[in-house]
Structure 1
Amino acid sequence: MQALNTLRCSCTSRGFRNANTLLGNTKCLQNVLPRTYCSTILDTAFTFNIKGALVTRGCFGTTSQLLGCFKSNHTIVYPNSLSRTFCTVSETGSCWRCGAPLHLTPAFFCPACEVIQAPEEHANYFDIMDCDKSFAVDTQRLQKRYLHLQRSLHPDKFSRKTQKEQEYSEIQSALVNKAYKTLLKPLSRGLYMLELGGVHLEEGTDISADPGFLLEIMEINERLEQTQTKEEVNSIGTSIQGRVEDLTEKINASFRKGDLQSAKVLIVEMKYFANIQEKVKERLSVMAV
């Protein structure tokens, strides 16, 4: 407890002058104090506003945030949060051309000379698309952000610029495309969030799936193959869409609770339904010919 009180004092009196040391002390205490203490310490240590840069703890995924002019990568586990929560603090970068500080993460353009910047190495798709690190993404806002970025970053706008600017434009534009497509659909968004949390779907995930569920999937596929009319195919498609919407709500609830393993099981089920949805589209396409 004495060590905890000492660190709290350090947070208020010396945090601004020696933040790197503070984070190092916090990491050491993490190994000897209960996790609830560590959470309290970090709640204190990560709420400073240094040089206009507000520092907050991310709820999920890898975050890149400003904390003065130093750099530290720090992994923290909170007892009542997600099973894997990453908090990455990155130094304020500078423009490759004029040297002006870049206050945003990721920074697409220099605020001083307005030249395009290199992609932020540690920025994740949620950072790029400026949306909450949540499974419940506002898709309309996501689309607006995508259109705005593509208008600004499209390579056609940089055809008369320097070679470096053209290269950065191509990389940034492709990265925005990938981020948008990944976060737009629930399945790819969920898989990405699992990846950020260090959870991956192994090959042959159907082996661990519920036998009753697998039997249901087989029956739906057989019924789809035997359908003769568009009405029947559309009926199957509507039914599957309802199941996907139900799974989406359950997956969102699992992520909010930090239960990545439950989210993983539900996402595996969603993969099967997404596969059937693709087959429905193909079947309707053939019938339309």
Structure 2
Amino acid sequence: MLSVKSLRIVSSSRAVLHPCWLTTNRLSVSKAVTCSAHCMSASLHKKCTWLSSMNFRALRKERQLLFYTHRAPSLRNCCTSQVKLNCWNCKHLLDKTPAFFCVSCKAVQPPEEGASYFKIMDCDYTFTLDTQKLQKTYLQLQRCLHPDNFSQKSVKEQEYSESQSALVNKAYNTLLKPLSRGLYMLELEGMSIEEGTVSGVDSDFLMKLMEINEALDEARTPEEANKIGQDTKGKLADLTVQIDAALLKGELQAAKALLVQMKYYANIDEKVKEKLSEFM
């Protein structure tokens, strides 16, 4: 790559031989210098970004217990836009995102596109979130956003309240149970578990599931069915601990495999409830 000084020397020598060259090619020289500076800047930026990434990985390894609060959030975990928004009604600047109401005119706001369920429900991005706090937030939001509160408002506010209320419902139901919460966290990281798939599942594990299902079908008393239910709940609790540990370490593939197992055990748990209802 030519330095700026070298370009000046070449320019001067060419100008002596061809007086018109300096005038007609000044723009080309300027472009070459600009391009050189841009390439150097891009190279330095790339190097700094790489070093920052290396430093972050080292920090995360040393402080795994604080993984969720210190890790660099991916685009999937955050709202798609950090731009300040204004109220659709009075144009006042909204104080936070996602915003449910304008602090100035109190008008209900439309749902913010791309906001994660964790942000909507004001929860920490963690598999072991506080479900009591989640339920409290849910009740507070629904008391404020329920469409019945806006029956005398404009059509637009009625539509926004219905959309916000439905979104809060969906966010709450997704985050409430460990299985749906874990699957949603994988989805935020760009991973998913296909419906009905058994690929990657250990054959011994599938055999064990068949035995449990057969025992449940053959259960003739509530005690027998309840015993299977208690064993299943214990397994679900154990899987919850393992999944949380995998996510804390950023081991997404391991978390995915464990969530597949949780999905099967959650299905058995539902079958136990159905079986117990037959004895009533």
Alignment TM class, shorter chain as reference: 0.7 to 0.9
- Are 2:77 and 2:188, in contact at CA under 8 Å, matched by a contact in 1? no
Q: Which has the larger radius of gyration?
A: 2
* Residue among 85, 89, 99 paired with 1:93: 85
Amino acid paired to 2:76: T
CA distance in 2, matches of 1:132, 1:39: 23
Alignment of 1:105 with 2:97, yes or no, is: yes
* Residue among 214, 220, 228 paired with 2:206: 214
Amino acid paired to 2:240: T
| Other structure's SS at 1:266 match | helix
CA distance in 2, matches of 1:163, 1:272: 45
CA-to-aligned-CA distance 1:15-42 (integer Å, 9 cap, x gap): xxxxxxxxxx9x9569842765133899
CA distance in 2, matches of 1:261, 1:122: 25
CA distance in 2, matches of 1:30, 1:123: 33
Counterpart of 2:265? 273
Q: What is the TM-score with the length of structure 1 in the denominator?
A: 0.74
| Other structure's SS at 1:113 match | coil
Report the Cα offset of residue 245 of structure 1.
0.2
% identical aligned pairs: 54
Alignment of 1:33 with 2:47, yes or no, is: yes
- Are 1:194 and 1:260, in contact at CA under 8 Å, matched by a contact in 2? yes
- Are 1:61 and 1:133, in contact at CA under 8 Å, matched by a contact in 2? no
* Residue among 187, 194, 198 paired with 1:202: 194
CA distance in 1, matches of 2:72, 2:263: 28
- Are 1:62 and 1:123, in contact at CA under 8 Å, matched by a contact in 2? no
- State the superposition RMSD in angstroms: 2.5
Report the Cα offset of residue 180 of structure 1.
0.2
Amino acid paired to 1:164: K
Query: Taking structure 1 as reference, are residues 241 and 168 closer, same or farther at Cα in structure 2, changes over 3 Å only?
Result: same
Structure 2: 5+ residue stretches without partners: 1-38, 57-69
Q: What is the TM-score with the length of structure 2 in the denominator?
A: 0.76
Counterpart of 1:159? 151
Higher helix residue share: 2
Amino acid paired to 2:238: D
Amino acid paired to 2:227: S
CA-to-aligned-CA distance 1:141-193 (integer Å, 9 cap, x gap): 00000000000000000011000000000000000000000000000000000
- Are 1:119 and 1:168, in contact at CA under 8 Å, matched by a contact in 2? yes
Bigger drift between 241-250 and 198-207 goes to 198-207
- Are 1:119 and 1:171, in contact at CA under 8 Å, matched by a contact in 2? yes
CA distance in 2, matches of 1:256, 1:233: 35
Counterpart of 1:5? none
Counterpart of 1:146? 138
Alignment of 1:131 with 2:145, yes or no, is: no
- Are 2:92 and 2:102, in contact at CA under 8 Å, matched by a contact in 1? yes
Amino acid paired to 1:152: C
Report the Cα offset of residue 59 of structure 1.
4.3
Query: Taking structure 1 as reference, are residues 28 and 149 closer, same or farther at Cα in structure 2, changes over 3 Å only?
Result: farther
Matches within 5 A, 1:16-95: 32-33=46-47, 36-39=50-53, 59=73, 62-64=76-78, 88-95=80-87
* Residue among 263, 275, 279 paired with 1:283: 275
* Residue among 156, 175, 193 paired with 1:183: 175
Report the Cα offset of residue 105 of structure 1.
1.1
CA distance in 1, matches of 2:96, 2:44: 30
Amino acid paired to 2:167: L
Report the Cα offset of residue 205 of structure 1.
2.8
Report the Cα offset of residue 202 of structure 1.
2.8
- Are 1:29 and 1:38, in contact at CA under 8 Å, matched by a contact in 2? no
Amino acid paired to 1:172: Q
Higher strand residue share: 1
Amino acid paired to 1:120: E
| Other structure's SS at 2:240 match | helix
Structure 1: 5+ residue stretches without partners: 1-24, 43-55, 66-87
Counterpart of 1:230? 222
CA-to-aligned-CA distance 1:86-106 (integer Å, 9 cap, x gap): xx5510000001111112110
